[in-house]
Chains A and B, each alone.
Chain A
Amino acid sequence: MATAKTLFEKVWAEHVVVDESPDIPAVLYIDLHLIHEVTTPQAFALLKARGLAVRRPDLTLATMDHSTPTTPVTSFKDLAVVGAGAANQIDQMEKNCAAFGIDLLGFGSEQRGIVHVIGPELGATQPGKTIVCGDSHTSTHGAFGALAFGIGTTEVGHVLATQCLLQRKPKTLAINIDGTLGKGVTAKDLILAIIGEIGVDGGTGYVIEYRGSAISTMGMDERMTVCNMSIEAGARAGMIAPDSTTFDYLRGRPRAPQGAAWDVALTRWMALQSDDGAKFDKTLDIDASELPPMVTFGTNPGMVVGVDEAIPAANGDPSFRKALDYMQLEAGKPIAATGVDVVFVGSCTNSRLSDLAQAAEIMRGQRVANGVRMLVVPGSQQIKKEAEKLGLDQVFLTAGAEWRESGCSMCLGMNGDTVAKGQLSVSTSNRNFEGRQGIGARTILASPMTAAASAIAGHVADPRQYLR
């Protein structure tokens, strides 16, 4: 009998062009290469310098999201890029894609958006594929049972030129999550709790497979949120076995297989499960039923606490002390007392339709507190349109929030959307690193519901108090 294999091992094995040996890493084939304007210019320059072509432009999908502005406009001709550097980067991206024959979903494309939002939305992200991008949150696509991970610019060049990467096989970590998430507790809270449990380096060297009833009952948006933050635990990738929820999501999307090809793909996808008895290098069990909404209190995504809990006592670790000092927070005080200046709903972690709908559910009929600025930034132009069809934009606008064009926005403060020095932001993004949202900005990571509740309250707030 064949050895029982994990989902990861199945996808890995199907893409090995040359086996790895103690001397040489495996040559791994890449099925989908996502590119954006920030981590590609130096790779294109290398190709030009060596006179190389992009080997498979048909497997390469480009968009612009990181340094693009999200200021609301009626026409993309009016979109003013912030800074000469960003403008040049955007210009280079257009020229490079044209020169190398790559399909660019750029300004003016109705399919433009955050790279990790549009891949799934277009159906380009599919079970069993290997997917890479010069962006660490590529782990998002693992929600479909793809092996997806972030790479650096040199490796972007490798994939452009050869459609392959040199890779050592990572180890496997199974995280079994059973129990039902409580009302007001979301996928974001779960992944924050997991990172809090295993630490920001707990997944280093591993591909995580998220399993169990709490995962199988999630929709695709939620699964993407979970896989998205795998990198925040240091993991190479996060994966979830595809099931009927995955297939229902993909059916009919423009880049998904159509007609007879769909049936063939479906048969193949259904086998993408970890076999019974498959061995993982490590396993961890988590009970989801007792989790409160989670927020961060420090300067990395592993420093988490329940929204109804107190900031933990200092533990003698100077890095912990430094983090609390930077955040201007006091050990032992309830996190919910923390005053808020900015609320950001968006990013590749939480900018999908269900995220916006959850935030809107809390916001409906409420007002953003005086002195608080709230930005709602849909993950793609398509999501923007769908949300507007549902009237979600009006919920946010009526409450006094800003409704903007799609993009990475305030997640990383390189496109004009920033948090001012010393201001406190409750953000649905993925990183609360020092200065991530702007010089001296203080970030508390939270779910869209917690973010919305905090916008209304003017301080960090428990969304469960606002649920009707």
Chain B
Amino acid sequence: MDPITKIESCTIVLPTKDIDTDQIIPARYLTTTSRDGLGEFLFHDLRIDSHGNAIADFVLNDPKSEGCGILVAGHNFGCGSSREHAPWALLDCGIRAVVSTEIADIFRNNSLKNGLIPIIVDTQTHQYLLQNPGINLVIDIAAATLTLPDGKPIAFPIDGFARYCLVEGIDQLGYLRNQLSTIEQFEKERSWMP
């Protein structure tokens, strides 16, 4: 994975609460064996009507969203299924960070493993971001800060190990494989076998 240290981009705002992974990418698009090209299906049923036409008032169809890589979403974004197709689809559409007051557990894990940065902010910051779509934010991964246009950096929580892997471009499987001798030892010494 390529190292990710900084994201500087405008925001797209999707204020709805509890946006689930079925809305991010409907299950019928999961009959793929690849992780590429899923952007086409991102928010499919919110973005495209049953005649195949773009739904004009959906934010991703707004020309102003073009080129914006930070999604500001309502509380509890990414709830529901474990499909990693959700972060894959977001990344394929150029989304590189998701900002909310809560991001669901499995989605957050999946995002971090693919270089999509999940960012939890306080309610006040969230409100400001929801009310000001399109503003430019700077996300510094190493410093774990989000900087608003006024220049004020806001710290966000991120697991230290996940951050290290993102900044250094380290893939976690490599780390785990380096533990193989310890894993073998554990298997030999445990008191019962599964």
Partner of A17, one of B20, B102, B106, B179: B179
- Whether B105 lies near A205 (C-beta < 8 A) is yes
Residues in A with CB closer than 8 Å to B194 are 31-32, 59, 126, 129
In angstroms, how far is the closest chain B Cβ from the Cβ of A29? 6
Decide yes or no whether A41 CB sits under 8 A from chain B.
yes
Residues in A with CB closer than 8 Å to B105 are 204-205, 234-236
- Whether A17 lies near B82 (C-beta < 8 A) is no
- Whether B176 lies near A27 (C-beta < 8 A) is yes
Report the nearest B residue to A408, measured CB to CB: B27
Decide yes or no whether B96 CB sits under 8 A from chain A.
no
Of B29-37, B55-63, B134-142, B144-152, the one with at least 4 CB within 8 A of chain A:
B29-37
Interface centre among B15, B18, B27, B172 (most CB of A within 10 A): B27
| A-B pairs with lowest CB-CB distance, top 8 | A85-B31, A31-B194, A41-B33, A152-B110, A152-B84, A150-B82, A319-B17, A414-B27
Residues in B with CB closer than 8 Å to A414 are 27-28, 30-31
**In the complex, what distance in Å separates the CA atom of A24 from the CA atom of B15?**
34
Residues in A with CB closer than 8 Å to B177 are 161-162
**In the complex, what distance in Å separates the CA atom of A200 from the CA atom of B76?**
8
Q: List 8 A-B contacts (CB under 8 A).
A: A25-B161, A41-B33, A150-B106, A158-B172, A317-B17, A318-B15, A421-B50, A434-B45
- Whether A158 lies near B33 (C-beta < 8 A) is no
Partner of B183, one of A136, A151, A162, A440: A162
- Whether B161 lies near A24 (C-beta < 8 A) is yes
B residues 24-81 touching A (CB-CB < 8 Å): 26-28, 30-35, 45, 50, 74-76, 79-81
Residues in A with CB closer than 8 Å to B128 are none
Decide yes or no whether A23 CB sits under 8 A from chain B.
yes
Report the nearest A residue to B32, measured CB to CB: A85
**In the complex, what distance in Å separates the CA atom of A89 from the CA atom of B83?**
15
A residues 178-218 touching B (CB-CB < 8 Å): 200-201, 204-205
Decide yes or no whether A328 CB sits under 8 A from chain B.
no
- Whether B35 lies near A42 (C-beta < 8 A) is yes
In angstroms, how far is the closest chain A Cβ from the Cβ of B30? 5
Decide yes or no whether B16 CB sits under 8 A from chain A.
yes
- Whether A204 lies near B84 (C-beta < 8 A) is no
Decide yes or no whether A18 CB sits under 8 A from chain B.
yes
Known pairs A319-B17, A414-B28, A435-B45; A201 contacts B34 (CB<8 A): no
Decide yes or no whether A135 CB sits under 8 A from chain B.
yes
Residues in A with CB closer than 8 Å to B17 are 317, 319
Report the nearest A residue to B45, measured CB to CB: A435
Residues in B with CB closer than 8 Å to A153 are 35, 84, 110
Report the nearest B residue to A170, measured CB to CB: B105
Chain B 78-112 interface mask (CB, 8 Å, partner A; 1/0): 01111110000000000000000010111001100
**In the complex, what distance in Å separates the CA atom of A88 from the CA atom of B31?**
8
Chain B 105-132 interface mask (CB, 8 Å, partner A; 1/0): 1100110011000000000000000000
- Whether B179 lies near A162 (C-beta < 8 A) is yes
In angstroms, how far is the closest chain B Cβ from the Cβ of A368? 26
Residues in B with CB closer than 8 Å to A436 are 22, 27
Report the nearest B residue to A300, measured CB to CB: B18
In angstroms, how far is the closest chain A Cβ from the Cβ of B47? 12
In angstroms, how far is the closest chain A Cβ from the Cβ of B70? 21
Residues in B with CB closer than 8 Å to A85 are 31-32
Residues in B with CB closer than 8 Å to A152 are 82-84, 106, 109-110, 113
In angstroms, how far is the closest chain B Cβ from the Cβ of A235? 8
In angstroms, how far is the closest chain B Cβ from the Cβ of A237? 10
**In the complex, what distance in Å separates the CA atom of A163 from the CA atom of B106?**
19
- Whether A319 lies near B74 (C-beta < 8 A) is yes
- Whether B79 lies near A234 (C-beta < 8 A) is yes
- Whether B31 lies near A440 (C-beta < 8 A) is no
- Whether A89 lies near B84 (C-beta < 8 A) is no
Residues in B with CB closer than 8 Å to A231 are 106
**In the complex, what distance in Å separates the CA atom of A25 from the CA atom of B82?**
20
Report the nearest B residue to A85, measured CB to CB: B31
Known pairs A234-B105, A435-B26; A440 contacts B84 (CB<8 A): no
**In the complex, what distance in Å separates the CA atom of A39 from the CA atom of B84?**
8
Residues in B with CB closer than 8 Å to A155 are 109-110, 113
In angstroms, how far is the closest chain A Cβ from the Cβ of B133? 15
**In the complex, what distance in Å separates the CA atom of A356 from the CA atom of B113?**
40
Report the nearest B residue to A303, measured CB to CB: B18
- Whether A200 lies near B18 (C-beta < 8 A) is yes
**In the complex, what distance in Å separates the CA atom of A152 from the CA atom of B21?**
12
In angstroms, how far is the closest chain B Cβ from the Cβ of A422? 10
Residues in B with CB closer than 8 Å to A39 are 82-84
A residues 245-292 touching B (CB-CB < 8 Å): 264-265, 268
Residues in B with CB closer than 8 Å to A18 are 179, 182
**In the complex, what distance in Å separates the CA atom of A134 from the CA atom of B106?**
10
